[in-house]
Amino acid sequence: VAKKARTGDYEHTKEAFLEVFAKLRDECVSDPIVGTPPAFSVEWVTEMLNYNVPGGKLNRGMAVYDSLAAIKEELAEEDIFKANVLGWCIEWLQAFFLVADDIMDGSITRRGQPCWYKQSKVGLLAVNDGILLEAQIYRTIKKHLKGHPSYLEILELFHDVTFQTAHGQLLDVTTAPIGTVDLTKYTLDNYMMIVTYKTAYYSFYMPVACGMLLAGISDPAAYKVAEDILVEMGQYFQIQDDYLDAFGDPDTIGKVGTDIEDNKCSWLICTCLKEASDAQKETIKANYGKKDKECVVAIKQIYQEINVEERFKEYEAESYKKLVAAIDAQTVLPKAVFTSLLSKIYKRKK
């Protein structure tokens, strides 16, 4: 349901959010540096941004406005616009990560179309496009938020979260290098460390922290409370993702899960290895990370034997209960800051 800002008739819909993208994209393209003759880059940058930035679910970007609206009763048009600018900066950051991620993983498709680096004219030029995407974030923030009381903190947040996410990606890629299956690294402790840094900070903490900074919240204790709750929510989200990869309906999710073939350090495989008998471990070792239908069937058989579906449902119920209790117990932020995010992901099917 679209939320309305209480000061006017702004409806926070995907369409309204996408209008801000068009404005920011045009600003990036009309940047004097991009447009300086010979302006070969204008067309390239336009296509690169259209291809990589707005194609996802946009949950992260749209959550900045939701967080600000939950904290502040009255929102001026300027507040709404700034929230959407920072929301798009998070989507730009996501695009930067995904362009790089796809090259590292050798992925073929992303969001239902060929990966950017797979375009015949692009190839490894995509590395430079990733760098451009990141640099555009800081030019956009400078243009629209320089002079805001939280300008420095906003910049620091983007730098910190970029570092955390890159570190998470490094942990992920070194835990499960392509072509090597080393199951000793597949522990739940390692897994939690990877998802905390790779997903939780930029997907959950960052949008809310942006909303808090725009609302003028400066108490470090409030950010600590938000971080603790939102990192845990991010972990729950990623574990759901892993579950849906194996047990979700491909038509609903929009893709066929490939975590088993891709040798992913997922919650399912870490949970299985913790509980598996020696014989089951041997089966996992022989079949995990192989692009062969028979091998995938063998792993899914182990998932059934260890009842990993039931274990996930227990984890989900426990995690939800814990999150609700933490949201109720804190008094520094309106509950809606957290419940609006939690309600979107609890028991999701895609």
The domains located in the chain, with CATH, are 1-146 (1.10.600.10), 149-350 (1.10.600.10)
Contacts of the segment 228-232: beta carbons below 8 A, 24+ positions apart: 228/326, 229/323, 229/326, 229/327, 229/330, 229/338, 230/200, 230/204, 230/205, 230/338, 230/341, 231/196, 231/200, 231/201, 231/204, 231/205, 232/200, 232/319, 232/322, 232/323, 232/326
Q: Contact 257/248 with Cβ under 8 angstroms?
A: yes
pLDDT bucket at 7, cuts 50 / 70 / 90: very low
For residue 46, count other CB atoms closer than 10 A to its CB: 15
pLDDT reported for residue 9: 65
pLDDT reported for residue 109: 86
Comparing 96 with 261, the larger pLDDT belongs to: 96
Q: What burial class does residue 68 get, using C-beta atoms within 10 Å of its C-beta: 0-12 exposed, 13-18 middle, 19+ buried?
A: buried
In DSSP terms, which residues pair with 60 in a beta bridge?
none
pLDDT bucket at 4, cuts 50 / 70 / 90: very low
pTM value is 0.92
pLDDT of residue 148 exceeding 90, the answer is yes
pLDDT of residue 122 exceeding 80, the answer is yes
pLDDT bucket at 1, cuts 50 / 70 / 90: very low
d(CA 38, CA 206): 38
d(CA 336, CA 11): 17
d(CA 161, CA 205): 9
pLDDT reported for residue 169: 94
pLDDT digits (tens, 9 = 90+) for 27-72: 999 998 887 777 789 999 999 999 999 999 999 999 999 999 999 9
Q: What string of DSSP letters covers 46-84?
A: HHHHHHHSTTS--HHHHHHHHHHHHH-S---HHHHHHHH
pLDDT bucket at 8, cuts 50 / 70 / 90: low
Q: What's the whole-number mean pLDDT along residues 288-293?
A: 92
What average pLDDT does the chain have? Answer: 93
Catalytic residues: 57, 96, 101, 105, 110, 172, 198, 237, 241-242
**Encoded tokens for 98:** 């995904």
